[in-house]
Structure 1
Amino acid sequence: MSFDHLLSLVNHVPLAALDALSRDLWRAAGEGALTDAQAQALAEAIHGRRRPRAQASAVSLGGLAVVSSRKPPEAAAEAPEASSGQSPGQDPRPWSYFPPKRPQRSPDRARSLERRRTLAASGPLPPKLACRFTTGELAVLKIVADSFVAGSQCTLSIPEIAARAGVGQTKARLALRIAQNLGLVSITERRVQYRPNRTNVVRIVSPSWLAWLARWTAPSTAVRPPAAEPAALQDRGYSSLQTTGVVGRGEGSLLRSPRNQGFTRKGVKSRTTWG
């Protein structure tokens, strides 16, 4: 590729393609298609595309204008270093599609510690698997398991998992990486070009872990029908109990009254019964 063609690519390709273009540039220089001066000029132009906040200056090379990221001395003197929060001599942050990351801190570390220990003690994994993780990692896997049980997959972001588990984002990433290396989960990345990536999809694939979750999330047993009355009560003339708990033939209810909290004594004809 010629110098003019490479220069046009440097000025027009997306920022994500600059790395591949830089490799092609130095490959062409190694093959002798570019001189050292041309390769250096193109490298500076690529560096300037990555840092557009730096004031651009024109560098003349054989009648061609190449964009450079070097600041003039007067511009560097006017820009105060304290306002940018950087020490003198430190380069500004390279331009990115993404906003700068903010540290995630718990407003109440005591409650986060309690939540982390509670989640870890709830038994998210079988004992043979749980012994491979720390308390914080078990809390992370508990959040992942709950999300997986609810929707057959976990699509929570790392900050969400870390906040719910009461740990930091580094601990959350480490727990998922260890679980993936042990073959407990599968992680599917959902990358989006020139935009923030979508959250990863985490699925539990370990048979022992799935059996453990199925054991704890089994559906509740159905309500049993009322048992038949003993034959002795039927022989004495008692009517069968209805589903409402009321005895037939007007003999009153066997349920305890909220007032006296006990059974009431009633007289029926010539015999005394407890209704």
Structure 2
Amino acid sequence: MSAVVVVETFRVAIGQANGGAELDRLTAAIWRQNLAGALSDDDANGLAILASARRKPAEGPRQASAPVNLSRFKPRRRQAAPDREVARRRRRGLARSAPMPAALASCFTESESAVLAIVAGEVKHHGTCELPIDQMAALAGVCRTSVQNALHEARRLGLIRVMHRPQRGRKHLPNVVEIVSPEWRAWLKRGPTAHRPIGSKSSAQVKNLSPTKSTERTLRGRDLVGGDVAQYSVTLARHPSGDATGLRDDDISRCDSN
């Protein structure tokens, strides 16, 4: 069989080949014929290149299809990148505010300590922490992963208890975080926290601590003289410390004479 017939036979077989396995067998046969002397090096290289080109799809590379979101809920929005310098100062300030005893704080990183400072402030003022993870991350100046790591490590050490609140067919409610460590709870009772929830106290709880303003108190008494009831009112200007000031001697004598 002449070399021209062999080359043409391989060309037809390569054109009719189905799949890569058949092309592999044809390529191996081409090089066997080359070793046997039936095909020259140029003919063998040309047929091998033809077989290699036959492997590539004619339509080009397949485009990757976009993943289909099968969830009924909206996808979580990516957290916007905050000002890094502002977030860094906030994170360091919270971590250094001593939100827990030093022995416990040594088990956490700076970012995790900032997260636990947010938890401590919520627990101190509300009894529990029910903030979503994204809100805790924004307040602490950290990312979602740092919040999850802090809660996971604190729960592993037995410092907190996390209650999940799933809802069937709806988005889950935020987890409820409660501090169960006696040492940590005693620490919170003794001192203030760096994180203070937004809100105002009632007017009944607001005390006037200004030393320049005195509180006027009216003392009303009754004196029985001759069967008549004489009511008198003496206004004393008292300092917030409790000492009476501003009462003249003649005012005292007038009260005694009545």
SS of the residue 1:179 aligns to:
helix
Taking the TM superposition and a 5 Å limit, the aligned residue runs for 1:125-136 are: 125-136=100-111
Contact 1:97 1:195 in 2 (8 A): no
Number of the residue aligned with 1:168 = 143
Amino acid paired to 1:99: K
> Aligned partners of 2:162 and 2:145: how far apart in 1?
17
Number of the residue aligned with 1:158 = 133
Taking the TM superposition and a 5 Å limit, the aligned residue runs for 1:181-192 are: 181-192=156-167
Shift of 1:194: 1.3
| 1:95-138 deviation per Cα after TM superposition (whole angstroms, max 9, x unaligned) | 10221122213331100000000000000010000000011000
In structure 2, stretches of 5+ residues that fail to align are 1-61, 194-208, 210-235, 251-258
> Aligned partners of 1:150 and 1:140: how far apart in 2?
16
> Aligned partners of 2:192 and 2:86: how far apart in 1?
27
SS of the residue 1:98 aligns to:
coil
SS of the residue 1:148 aligns to:
helix
Amino acid paired to 1:168: C
Number of the residue aligned with 1:204 = 179
In structure 1, stretches of 5+ residues that fail to align are 1-86, 224-240, 252-275
Confirm or deny that 1:112 pairs with 2:87.
yes
Number of the residue aligned with 2:238 = 243
> Aligned partners of 1:129 and 1:177: how far apart in 2?
14
> Aligned partners of 2:82 and 2:147: how far apart in 1?
18
Number of the residue aligned with 1:258 = none
Q: Give the number of the structure whose alpha-carbon radius of gyration is greater.
A: 2
Amino acid paired to 1:188: M
Identify the structure with bigger relative contact order (alpha carbons < 8 Å, sequence gap 6+).
Answer: 2
Contact 1:106 1:112 in 2 (8 A): no
Shift of 1:217: 4.5
SS of the residue 2:174 aligns to:
strand
Taking the TM superposition and a 5 Å limit, the aligned residue runs for 1:42-121 are: 88-121=63-96
SS of the residue 1:147 aligns to:
helix
SS of the residue 1:186 aligns to:
strand
Shift of 1:215: 0.9
* Structure 1 runs, 4 residues or longer, greater than 4 Å off: none
Shift of 1:152: 0.6
Amino acid paired to 1:136: S
> Aligned partners of 1:100 and 1:248: how far apart in 2?
72
Number of the residue aligned with 1:271 = none
Amino acid paired to 1:143: I
> Aligned partners of 2:171 and 2:249: how far apart in 1?
73
Amino acid paired to 1:174: N
> Aligned partners of 1:146 and 1:155: how far apart in 2?
12
SS of the residue 2:98 aligns to:
coil
Amino acid paired to 2:68: R
> Aligned partners of 2:98 and 2:72: how far apart in 1?
41
Shift of 1:157: 0.3
Amino acid paired to 2:65: Q
Amino acid paired to 2:67: P
